[in-house]
Amino acid sequence: MRWLGHPVHPMLVHFPIVFWSCALVADVVSLTIHASPARDVSVSHLMAMCSAWLIYLVALALHGYPPKTPVPLAALIASAAGFLTMAYGAWLGGRLVYLYRVGMP
């Protein structure tokens, strides 16, 4: 596959390598960190936002190419599910900042 005349694979292959490498480092670091309520909420926040991203990716695929009019019902449902999942993740992020003061001085 090409984009603007350039192969796509060399542009994207670095991301999963870096992300999976960072995941290993994070797992090793987590062995030294004690559990806390903020940590539990942060993991839930991470999972909600990653899930929302994946749901929106499914919604994009369900739209098809070229996009159809009207929007297929499955794509609309997936978009709504992605929004609700994202809203839940945002609420958890708010708890991290305002309740647990994560990232605050």
User: Mind listing the pLDDT tens digit for each residue in 49-67?
Assistant: 999 999 999 999 999 888 8
Cα three-residue angle 13-14-17, rounded to 5 degrees: 100
Q: Name every residue whose Cβ is closer than 8 Å to that of residue 41 and which is 6 or more positions away in sequence.
A: 92, 95, 96, 100
- What residue segments make up the domains of the chain, in order of their start? 1-33, 35-105
DSSP 13: T
pLDDT for 33: 81
Give the pair of three-digit tokens for residue 66: 């070229």
pTM score: 0.71
C-beta of residue 1 within 8 angstroms of C-beta of residue 65? no
Return the SS3 of 6: strand
